[in-house]
Structure 1
Amino acid sequence: MAKIASVEVLQVNLKPKVKRTDAVQSFELQETPMVRITDTDGVTGLGYSYTIGTGGSSVCKLLDDHLVPVLLGQEAEDIDGLWRRLFYRVHALTVGPVCSLALAAIDTALWDLRARRAKLPLHRVAGGAKDSIPLYSTEGGWLHMDEAELIDEAVKAKELGFGGGKLKVGRDHVSEDVRRISIVRDRVGPEWEIMTDANQGFTVEEAIRRARQFEALDIAWFEEPIHADDIGAHRRLAASTSVPIAVGESMYSLSQFKDYLASGACSIVQTDVARIGGITPWLKVAHLAEAFNVPVCPHFLMELHLGLCCAVPNSRWLEYIPQLDLVTHSSIEISAGRAYPSDAPGLGIDWDLEALERHVVHRARHG
């Protein structure tokens, strides 16, 4: 095995290609904390996480001052041990997004390094359960879009072979949400899946009210209907409706997912590899969900989640939101509405390092 010889911390800022709005926020800027780890054999792994417009510099500061110095001289292959050591290094600050995003940048770099040393792609190193995953699109369902745009985008996604699409909900009155879903359903037919996402915008009473209205529209799931901290409210909602309840993008620990699954408060897990703290805890959540016979449909980070979805048997959908086009040579492989992971060693992301350099706003070298 080889020890960690040097680490580079970067922040790369990427502008979203399209306007993205939901019930509570807008996606202003993808701040991308990145970590490049080089071992004593000269092999390098590159990992990353993200924010949607604020906090990226805080994540990098935590990396530079408190986490990355611990890595130097450690065995690069001791990934689980290093994750726990780093977690307890900042234990008073956990659990929460800043720590998780910092840990994820390191952990994904270590997994990239492991896969490159093994000369294997991530989906095989992490499990090798399947060779592809079906896609649904989120890019055509943002809350600011009018009804004509929603129809056009849904029809386009269906023609491209996507198996479904996501519509943001959270308009002032339930009738508005119902109308927007209904017009899309009328155009795409009953066999095309419609996912809905409230981004934690409702009280439990309003979520129950809207879910009952959504039942007749046969939606695939009702995502983040209530604040993610309120397990009891989600349990009440899940018991009141036949609509599957999806949670996970705003949860930051294995224990949170355990509590949701054990209490029957969700039926779809959407763990986000950046917000859960990296590939190491992501896989633990996926296997935990498998024990409850619950599917995994991860949030965002399409390029990274592709390999992870193909590593585990209970993945069901990959969310299509192109994220890294500005800094990669090629996009993921898509055929007939399914995404296929790269067989190249590592995370499977075809980085354009020259383009990446043009978007760097912070750099620090350690070791």
Structure 2
Amino acid sequence: MARITHVELRMVDLAPKVERVDAIQSFVSQETPVLTIYDSDGASGTGYSYTIGTGGPSVMALLQHTLLPRLIGQDGDRIDGIWRELLYATHATAVGAITSLALAAIDTALWDLRCRKLGLPLWKLAGGSRESIPLYSTEGGWLHLSSEALVEDALAMQAQGFKGSKIKIGRPHISEDAARLEAVRAAVGPGYEILTDGNQGFTLSEAIRRAQMLEDHGIGWFEEPLKADDVAAHRELARRTSVPVAVGESLYSLSQFKDYLQAGAASIVQVDLARIGGITPWLKVAHLAEAFNVMVCPHFLMELHLPLVCAVPNAKWLEYIPQLDSITEQGIEIKDGRAHVSQDPGLGIKWDWARLDALADPITIKEVV
């Protein structure tokens, strides 16, 4: 039985390719912990996590001083057991973002290790439901962009075979959001999905008001309309509109998703692999959503989510926001608006190790002899 011998940890800061502004924030950097686990068979697996702008050093500190030393000597095949033990080792800081982001880096590396040792791609080992999935684009839909820019991007993505675009909403007056959506709808026609994202920027009364406007434009979903911890308000909004309510990128545990689903407060689950704590809990959320006949459309992390949405039967979309282009040798394969899984063993990510080494020196955690 192979045991974990050492771990290498580094953090790289990835600048967004475009300006990203939504109803509550702007994104200026992406602090990305990258972690490689080695075992006594000489095998390795690499995973990662992320923060939007801040918090990366806190995640790194939790990994370096608390979680990674507990990995040394462990059987790397005990993925679920290790995840649970590490969660309880940080009980005072769980459930919460810093702990989940740290756990995700470890868990994705363990899954990569397992897949590589078995010679299987993640999408097959996790379920093997399909080999490709439709993409929708977010990169051209940010809140600061003009209607003309939104239209230009949506038409460009439609020409590439994409089936939908997401538009950020939350302009000061409802008429501004309506005008932007109307311009895009007029350009792309009725068969192209327009999705919207409020980024938790509305009160319940304003969300109800804007949902009525979204119905008039045939909008595919209303994402994060309200504060993520207000289940009752989401339930009331869902009761008052025919537009599907999408929630999940700011939830951090299986139980939080259970509360939403039991309440009928979300009809689309947008579970974020990093914020839920890794592949292990992500799959549990996806299967829970399937039991409620609810679709899974994960947030961000395009490269990691691709094999997972192709592993489960209740996923419809993958969000297109390229994240890793500057530290990988090649991106995901896209044909006619669909993302296709890698058939290589592991997560399907081809890291550019020379670039990673140039950006950050690794910290090594190993058993003290």
Give TM-score, length-normalised by structure 2.
0.98
What is aligned with 1:201?
201
3-state SS of paired residue (2:266): coil
- The reply to whether residue 282 of structure 1 matches residue 282 of structure 2 is yes
Deviations 1:328-359 (A, max 9, x none): 11110011111101000100001111111222
Give the CA deviation at 1:306. Answer: 0.2
Match of 1:48 in 2: 48
**What secondary structure, in the 3-state scheme, does the structure 2 residue paired with 1:140 have?**
coil
The equivalent residue for 1:8 is: 8
Q: Spell out, residue by residue over 1:186-224, the C-alpha distance to the aligned partner (whole angstroms, 9 max, x if none).
A: 000000000100100001111011001110101110000
Identity among equivalent positions (%) equals 62
Contact kept in structure 2, 1:301 and 1:321, CA below 8 Å: yes
2:72 maps to 72
- Cα offset, 1:35, TM superposition: 1.3
Once the two structures are superposed, residues 295-319 of structure 1 have per-residue CA deviations (whole angstroms, 9 ceiling, x without a partner) of 1000000000000001000011000
Alignment map for 1:66-145 (pairs within 5 Å): 66-145=66-145
1:11 partner SS: strand
Contact 2:271/2:282 (CA < 8 Å) preserved in 1?
yes
What is the match of residue 149 of structure 1? Answer: 149
SS at 1:356's partner residue?
helix
Task: Give the Cα–Cα distance (whole angstroms) in 1 for the partners of residues 209 and 20 of structure 2.
Answer: 26
What is the aligned partner in structure 1 of residue 352 from structure 2? Answer: 352
Indicate if the aligned counterparts of 2:182 and 2:217 stay in contact, CA closer than 8 A.
Answer: yes
* Alignment match, 1:301: 301
1:55-94: CA deviations, max 9, x gaps? 0010000001110011100100000000000000001111
Displacement, 1:245?
0.2
**Secondary structure class of the residue paired with 1:59:** helix
User: Counterpart of 1:39?
Assistant: 39
Q: CA deviation at 1:362?
A: 6.2
1:233 aligned partner: 233
Unmatched segments (≥5 aa) in structure 1? none
CA contact (8 A) 1:137 1:321 kept: yes
Amino acid at match of 2:207: A
Amino acid of the residue matched to residue 240 of structure 1? R
Amino acid at match of 1:288: L
- Determine the structure 1 residue equivalent to 2:253: 253
Separation in structure 2 between the aligned mates of residue 296 and residue 78 of structure 1, nearest angstrom: 26
Q: Contact 1:10/1:361 (CA < 8 Å) preserved in 2?
A: yes
Structure 2: which 5+ runs fail to align?
Answer: none
Taking the aligned partners of 2:133 and 2:120, their CA distance within structure 1 comes to 19
Cα distance in 1 for residues equivalent to 2:43 and 2:196: 43
Contact preservation (8 Å) 2:69, 2:365 = no
| 8 Å CA contact 1:13, 1:361 repeated in 2 | no
Q: Secondary structure at the match of 1:275?
A: helix
Deviation at 1:52, TM superposition (A): 0.9
Classify the secondary structure of the residue corresponding to 1:246: strand
Report SS of the residue matched to 1:358: helix
User: Structure 1: how far apart are the matches of 2:42 and 2:113?
Assistant: 10
Aligned-partner Cα distance in 1 for 2:211–2:138: 20
Cα offset, 1:361, TM superposition:
6.5
Q: Cα 1:362–1:43, aligned 2, differ >3 Å: closer, same or farther?
A: closer
Match of 1:159 in 2: 159
Give the secondary-structure state (helix, strand or coil) at the position aligned to 2:210.
helix
Q: Which deviates more, 6-15 or 354-363?
A: 354-363
Q: Following the alignment from structure 1 to structure 2, what is the Cα–Cα distance between the partners of residues 92 and 362?
A: 28
Counterpart code for 1:118:
L
For the 8 Å contact 2:269–2:296, the answer to whether it is kept is: yes
Shift of 1:13: 1.1
Q: Give the conservation status (yes or no) of the 8 Å contact 1:164–1:195.
A: yes
Counterpart contact for 2:143–2:168, Cα < 8 Å: yes
Secondary structure class of the residue paired with 2:172: coil
Please give the alpha-carbon distance, in whole angstroms, between the structure 2 residues aligned to 1:354 and 1:362: 12
Q: Secondary structure at the match of 2:196?
A: strand
For 1:180, give the aligned amino acid.
R
Separation (CA, whole Å) in 1 of partners of 2:131 and 2:81: 29
Matches within 5 A, 1:321-340: 321-340=321-340
What is the alpha-carbon distance in structure 2 between the residues aligned to residue 222 and residue 49 of structure 1?
A: 26
Q: What letter matches 1:293 in structure 2?
A: N
Moved more, 71-80 or 3-12: 3-12
SS of 2:275's equivalent in the other structure is coil
- CA shift at 1:364, angstroms? 4.0
Query: Does the 8 A contact of 1:13 with 1:360 survive in 2?
Result: no
Tell me, in whole angstroms, the C-alpha distance in 1 between the residues paired with 2:30 and 2:205. Answer: 33
Please give the TM-score of this superposition, normalised by the length of structure 1. Answer: 0.99
Structure 2 CA distance for aligned equivalents of residues 329 and 362 of structure 1: 19
Runs of 4+ in 1 over 4 A off after TM superposition: none
Letter of the 1:160 partner, please give it. Q
2:320 maps to 1:320: yes
CA distance in 1, matches of 2:48, 2:297: 20
Instruction: Give the match for residue 220 of structure 1.
Output: 220
